[in-house]
């Protein structure tokens, strides 16, 4: 049985608490949270768990095998590195850390101490994203053409990270998961609508070595909530609407061929193929419970998890480049 401590019970922490609590291969023994009012609310229903405001109490508790970090991003590195030093496995909310350098330190320390470093890119544990990967990697999908994602809503405007680090991070994890090719350069542009707050509206475009382009539109100031992604191959195209309760994926048997011809400028050389559309049935298993399962499996098996430190690093690499590009109004930055 693995003994777990949860650190942070803000927005996402309660979901982690619930999922680790429900897993039979581990035991949540401690929770660390700075806000005593939150502790009051949760301790009432969780009499078997020790609640504390002291991080050190958790780190120094030799009984604890693994920590689950759900604190503000700016604190990720500090808490994670301290935990690894104390010999604890680390499950950390996305993104892994603030900078490439920090990510690399975490990876190297985890490796040295033979500990599991897990970053919670939850979307990679959804059936929708796994279905996208399996459909798009088949031959009849054709060549990957583009990924175009709109991830916008009203709020919650963060204080310590801009909208890319909050929302685009999901798309970057998905992209790295489904693409074999590596990103080459990123051009990003954004706007800070409130001087005292981070950038609320941003657009990232990523070019790859192959014939593939990715575009991500993230915004905290949209009147409507949209979670729509198009993943287009040359022979099939997927529309992924994450707000649909079921039927999240529509797979279109549509494509475009340009047939080589001597008179290369003539219109009739384009062939639009249009066929049936289908929506694969997806199970409703909570992705977070599968992420928790993968983390525990990785500790037991000593095999690297799907979303390991490197996976977290690869996302931060793009975000760091995008930050530089944003400061230069879209100037492309090599990744």
Rounded-to-integer distance, Cα 331 and Cα 335, Å: 13
Contact 50, 27 (CB under 8 A): no
The residue among 4, 317, 12 whose CA lies nearest residue 173 is 317
Of the candidates 89, 39, 37, the residue with the CA atom closest to the CA atom of residue 67 = 89
State which residue, 60 or 211, has the beta carbon closest to a copy of itself: 211
Among 176, 217, 311, 314, binds a copy of itself (CB under 8 A): 217
Question: Residue 64: helix, strand or coil by DSSP?
Answer: coil
**For 257, phi and psi rounded to 5 degrees?**
-115, 135
Is residue 37 part of the contact set for a copy of itself (CB under 8 A)?
no
Specify the stretch interacting with a copy of itself by CB under 8 A; choose among 107-115, 133-141, 269-277, 297-305. 269-277
The reply to whether 279 sits near a copy of itself by the rule CB under 8 A is yes
Of 101 and 193, nearer to a copy of itself (C-beta) is 193
277 binds a copy of itself (CB under 8 A): yes
Interface positions, 136-155, toward a copy of itself (CB under 8 A)? 145-146, 148, 150, 152, 154-155
Distance (Å, whole) CA 295 – CA 67: 11
Question: What are 25's two structure tokens?
Answer: 């291969």
Place of tokens 């080459």: 184
Does 227 participate in binding a copy of itself (rule CB under 8 A)?
no
**Residue with Cβ nearer a copy of itself (157 or 306):** 157
Cα(151)–Cα(175) distance, rounded to whole angstroms? 14
**Binding of a copy of itself at residue 209 (CB under 8 A)?**
no
Is residue 278 a contact residue for a copy of itself (CB under 8 A)? yes
Contact 36, 51 (CB under 8 A): no
Tell the residue number behind the tokens 């639009």, with chain if given. Answer: 272
Q: Could you tell me how many residues of this chain bind a copy of itself (CB under 8 A)?
A: 70
Give the binding range for a copy of itself (CB under 8 A) out of 61-69, 253-261, 286-294, 307-315.
253-261
Q: Is residue 331 close enough to count as binding a copy of itself by CB under 8 A?
A: yes
List, in sequence order, every residue forming a beta bridge with 137; answer none if it has no partner: none
Q: Are 93 and 158 in contact (CB under 8 A)?
A: no
Dist CA 170 CA 288 (whole Å):
14
Least spacing, CB of residue 110 vs a copy of itself, in Å:
31
Q: By the criterion CB under 8 A, which residues form the site for a copy of itself?
A: 45, 47, 145-146, 148, 150, 152, 154-157, 159-160, 185, 187, 189-191, 193-194, 196-197, 201, 203, 205, 207, 211, 213, 215, 217, 219, 221-224, 230, 232, 234, 237-239, 247, 250, 252-254, 256, 258, 260, 264-267, 269-270, 272, 274-281, 325, 328-332
């Amino acid at each position: 049985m693995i003994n777990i401590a949860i650190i942070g019970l803000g927005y996402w922490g309660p979901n982690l608490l619930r999922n680790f609590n429900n897993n039979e291969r581990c035991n949540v023994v401690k929770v660390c949270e700075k806000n005593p009012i939150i502790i009051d609310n949760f301790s009432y229903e969780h009499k078997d768990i020790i609640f504390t405001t002291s991080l050190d109490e958790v780190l120094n508790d030799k009984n604890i095998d693994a920590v689950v970090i759900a604190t503000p991003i700016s604190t990720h590195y500090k808490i994670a590195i301290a935990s690894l030093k104390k010999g604890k496995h680390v499950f950390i909310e996305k993104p892994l850390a603030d900078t490439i350098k920090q990510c690399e330190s975490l990876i190297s320390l985890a490796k040295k101490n033979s500990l599991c470093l897990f970053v919670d890119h939850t979307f990679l544990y959804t059936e929708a994203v796994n279905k996208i990967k399996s459909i798009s990697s088949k031959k009849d999908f054709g060549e990957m053409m583009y990924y175009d994602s709109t991830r916008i809503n009203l709020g919650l405007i963060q204080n310590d990270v801009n909208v890319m680090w909050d929302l685009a991070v999901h798309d970057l994890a998905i992209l790295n998961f489904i693409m074999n090719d590596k990103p080459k350069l990123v051009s990003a542009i954004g706007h800070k609508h409130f001087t005292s707050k981070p950038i609320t509206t941003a657009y990232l475009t990523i070019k790859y070595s192959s014939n593939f382009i990715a575009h991500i539109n993230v915004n905290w100031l949209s009147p409507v909530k949209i979670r729509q992604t198009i993943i287009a191959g040359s022979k099939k195209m997927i529309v992924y609407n994450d707000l649909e309760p079921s039927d999240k994926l529509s797979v279109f048997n549509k494509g475009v061929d340009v047939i080589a011809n001597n008179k290369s400028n003539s219109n009739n050389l384009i062939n639009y193929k249009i066929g049936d559309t289908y929506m694969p049935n997806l199970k409703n298993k909570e992705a977070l419970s599968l992420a928790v399962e993968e983390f525990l499996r990785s500790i037991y098996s000593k095999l690297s998890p799907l979303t390991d430190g490197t996976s977290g690093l690869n996302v931060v690499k793009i975000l760091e480049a995008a930050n530089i590009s944003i400061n230069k109004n879209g100037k492309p930055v090599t990744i």
